[in-house]
Amino acid sequence: MGEKQREISVSEFFTKNRHLLGFDSPARALLTTVKEAVDNSLDAAEEAGILPTLRVDLVEVSEDRYRVAVEDNGPGIVKAQVPKVFGKLLYGSKFHRLAQRRGQQGLGVSAAGMYGQLTTGKPIIITSKTGKGRPAHHFEIVIDTARNAPSIVKDATIDWDRDHGTRVEIELEGLYKGGRRSVDEYLEQVAIANPHAEILYQPPRDRELVRYARLTEELPPEPVEIEPHPYGVELGSLQRLLKDTQARTLSSALQTEFSRVSARVAGEILSIAGLPANRRPHEVEPAEVERLHRAIPKVKIQAPPSSCVVPIGEELIRRGLEREIRAEFATSSTRPPAVYRGNPFIVEAGLAYGGDLRQETEDDEAPHASTKTVDAQQGPITLLRLANRVPLQYQQSACAIFRAAVETNWRQYGLTQPKGSLPQGPMVLLVHVASVWVPFTSESKEAVAHYPEMLKEIRLALQDCGRKLGSYLRRREHERRELRRRSIFEMYIGELVESLGKLARVDRKKLQKELAALAAQHTGDGAEEAAPIIAATKRVREGVDEEADSEEMEVPK
């Protein structure tokens, strides 16, 4: 047995478990590759304070092989870092920080490169330039999976007509298809979630270049990076933190390693734990760490600063939805910041209803059916899930966003909803969770874990949008009813004039006109509004009677 024991490199592990990273089918592999590169480009540009411009190219090399190229105008990557960033799994600049970024694990793009290498034998190709006048570096890199280390195939300096930016090219076994969960749809959603980005997309097979223009020239505010909040810190993390800290005393360790811990708060924690403030952190015994851990929740500590999470914002969500979908109604709602396990987060939701989302059968085939029933025939709504501005495409039913949407009672807002399912109708519903650390259920970052605090916030955002939709639908239904009533009345005007004309000599044209004008005026509420019409009809009738008295009557035979 002993002879068979040996270390497993992380690359070997993920080669065998590629499904954990989102490479379990050719179609998904293509999407994941685009996604990882796009996430990184947007992160890099934003972090450098640059309005992102991205170009995504998909080239079909053969039926089951594609070349993905993603280019950005970001800050570029310094030469020494390039091999590790792309040729080593679990290497990155984001894992050890608590800041709202799309990437967090240091796995994304290197895993995509590794998958490409595994399925096509081709290296990952990188071109990067960090500033005007500086050289552009061109690398071809493969991953040595046994060592989880980069091996450089080519390293050259080239001319590149850009001031700064990065271009990543990966060839892989993949499958391109349109429709749901396609690269096309993904990029459309990226554009909704990132109204400050310009995205150019060249789909494969000579299709036309797609351009998503910026909706705003303003970069979202840079999320403030924070230290972890002491509430919710795990015992093991606390232990490691005290081992690794540079601080000389327990009091200063608590203040520097955590957010919102002042000297006073640190003093209170330590006194409850029965530990001296000037104790050296490295010398704290395991039993004492446990006491410290138990003391933390007993002290009142201010919530983390909300500037560390940046939402898209109500207005931009609505405008983004309206640009991509010609709906008849759109609304949105952004919640105030909340905290799960010590990590701040914000939830926001938006929805677009009706308009182009509705199937065309409604007016042609079923003019008298209630709109609600017709809308319901469309099947479930489309749910767009976003985490830190990244659209999530797979594992919908495992996601907290899905669960909160299913658990919301949409019937009270005028939609049909089968038990335990999403509501039905011509609607796109968007939910965005922004956090310093999004709790994904797996490394492929496709589903948000079910933290009760998060479920609650999602539900509240959905309810807010639902209420606004409900009042719109009620108003619309009311107007439609009125319209229908009016048109029924209009249908009988001709007949009415005809009959009255037979009873008395009346100016038929004038009468017809008067009645039509009355019907047109009649747009308001039920009986009250119908009253003038009834009165007018009566007047006409009475008029006829008067006329009948004074003039000779044409007696119908």
Ligand X SMILES: Nc1ncnc2c1ncn2[C@@H]1O[C@H](COP(=O)(O)OP(=O)(O)OP(=O)(O)O)[C@@H](O)[C@H]1O
Report if residue 444 touches Mg ion, rule: CB under 5 A.
Answer: no
Name which position in 57, 72, 169, 375 contacts ligand X (CB under 6 A): 72
Q: Which one, 112 or 458, has the nearer CB to Mg ion? A: 112
166 binds, among ligand X, Mg ion, none (CB under 5 to 8 A by kind): ligand X
Element (DSSP H or E) covering residue 158: strand 149-158
The piece of 97-105, 138-146, 423-431, 476-484 that touches ligand X (CB under 6 A) is: 97-105
Name which position in 77, 338, 384, 390 contacts ligand X (CB under 6 A): 77
Q: Give Cα 545 to chain centroid, integer Å.
A: 69
The CA distance from 275 to 271, in Å, is 6
Residue 149: how many other CB atoms lie within 10 Å: 16
Name which position in 22, 26, 52, 74 contacts ligand X (CB under 6 A): 74
Report if residue 74 touches Mg ion, rule: CB under 5 A.
Answer: no
Tokens describing residue 434: 């922004």
Minimal distance in Å, beta carbon 45 to ligand X? 8
Name which position in 40, 73, 127, 395 contacts Mg ion (CB under 5 A): 40
Q: Which one, 52 or 103, has the nearer CB to Mg ion? A: 103
375 binds, among Mg ion, ligand X, none (CB under 5 to 8 A by kind): none
Name which position in 93, 396, 416, 441 contacts ligand X (CB under 6 A): 93
Minimal distance in Å, beta carbon 419 to ligand X? 37
Q: Which one, 108 or 203, has the nearer CB to ligand X? A: 108
Partners of 62 in beta bridges: 65
Report if residue 255 touches ligand X, rule: CB under 6 A.
Answer: no
Is residue 455 helix, strand or coil?
helix
Contacting residues for 394 by C-beta, under 8 A, at least 6 apart: 22, 28, 181, 444, 446, 447
- CA angle at residue 199 from 194 to 202, to 5 degrees? 145
The piece of 107-115, 181-189, 257-265, 480-488 that touches ligand X (CB under 6 A) is: 107-115
The piece of 71-79, 141-149, 313-321, 484-492 that touches ligand X (CB under 6 A) is: 71-79
Contacting residues for 192 by C-beta, under 8 A, at least 6 apart: 317, 320, 321, 323, 324, 384, 430
Minimal distance in Å, beta carbon 259 to ligand X? 21
Q: At what angle do helices 286-295 and 235-244 cross, to 10 degrees?
A: 120
- DSSP-derived secondary structure for 340-393: ETTEEEEEEEEEEESGGGS-THHHHH-TTS-HHHHHHTT-BPEEEEEETTEEE-
Any long-range contacts for 479-485 (C-beta under 8 Å, 24+ apart)? 479/523, 480/371, 482/522, 482/523, 482/524, 482/525, 482/529, 483/523, 484/368, 485/522, 485/530
Report if residue 103 touches Mg ion, rule: CB under 5 A.
Answer: yes
Contacting residues for 376 by C-beta, under 8 A, at least 6 apart: 415, 416, 424, 425
Report if residue 104 touches ligand X, rule: CB under 6 A.
Answer: yes
The CA distance from 446 to 387, in Å, is 9
Report if residue 391 touches ligand X, rule: CB under 6 A.
Answer: no
The CA distance from 156 to 140, in Å, is 9
The piece of 101-109, 263-271, 417-425, 474-482 that touches ligand X (CB under 6 A) is: 101-109
Partners of 53 in beta bridges: 198
Minimal distance in Å, beta carbon 113 to Mg ion? 12
Name which position in 107, 197, 308, 448 contacts ligand X (CB under 6 A): 107
As to burial, measured by CB atoms within 10 angstroms (0-12 exposed, 13-18 middle, 19+ buried), residue 306 is: middle
Q: Which one, 71 or 268, has the nearer CB to ligand X? A: 71
Using CB under 6 A as the binding criterion, the count of chain residues that bind ligand X stands at 21
Is residue 199 helix, strand or coil?
strand
223 binds, among Mg ion, ligand X, none (CB under 5 to 8 A by kind): none
Strand spans (E) along 448-503 = none
Minimal distance in Å, beta carbon 444 to ligand X? 10
Minimal distance in Å, beta carbon 236 to Mg ion? 26
Report if residue 127 touches Mg ion, rule: CB under 5 A.
Answer: no
71 binds, among Mg ion, ligand X, none (CB under 5 to 8 A by kind): none
337 binds, among ligand X, Mg ion, none (CB under 5 to 8 A by kind): none
The piece of 92-100, 130-138, 221-229, 269-277 that touches ligand X (CB under 6 A) is: 92-100
383 contacts 431 by C-beta, under 8 angstroms: yes
Alpha-carbon Rg for the chain, nearest whole angstrom, is 32
**Tokens 């966003």 identify what position?**
401
Give the CB-side neighbour count of residue 202, counting CA atoms within 13 A: 15
Is residue 145 helix, strand or coil?
coil
Residue window 133-172: x/- pattern of binding to ligand X, with contact defined by CB under 6 A: ---------------------------------x------
Report if residue 106 touches ligand X, rule: CB under 6 A.
Answer: yes
Partners of 173 in beta bridges: 65
Report if residue 76 touches Mg ion, rule: CB under 5 A.
Answer: no
Residue window 419-438: x/- pattern of binding to ligand X, with contact defined by CB under 6 A: --------------------
Q: Which one, 100 or 255, has the nearer CB to Mg ion? A: 100
The piece of 32-40, 190-198, 283-291, 507-515 that touches Mg ion (CB under 5 A) is: 32-40
The piece of 34-42, 286-294, 307-315, 530-538 that touches ligand X (CB under 6 A) is: 34-42
- DSSP-derived secondary structure for 492-531: HHHHHHHHHHHHS---HHHHHHHHHHHHHH--S-HHHHHH
Name which position in 9, 25, 53, 105 contacts ligand X (CB under 6 A): 105
Report if residue 44 touches ligand X, rule: CB under 6 A.
Answer: yes
Minimal distance in Å, beta carbon 272 to ligand X? 37
- Residues in touch with Mg ion (CB under 5 A): 39-40, 103, 108
- Residues in touch with ligand X (CB under 6 A): 36, 39-41, 44, 72, 74, 77, 85, 92-94, 103-110, 166
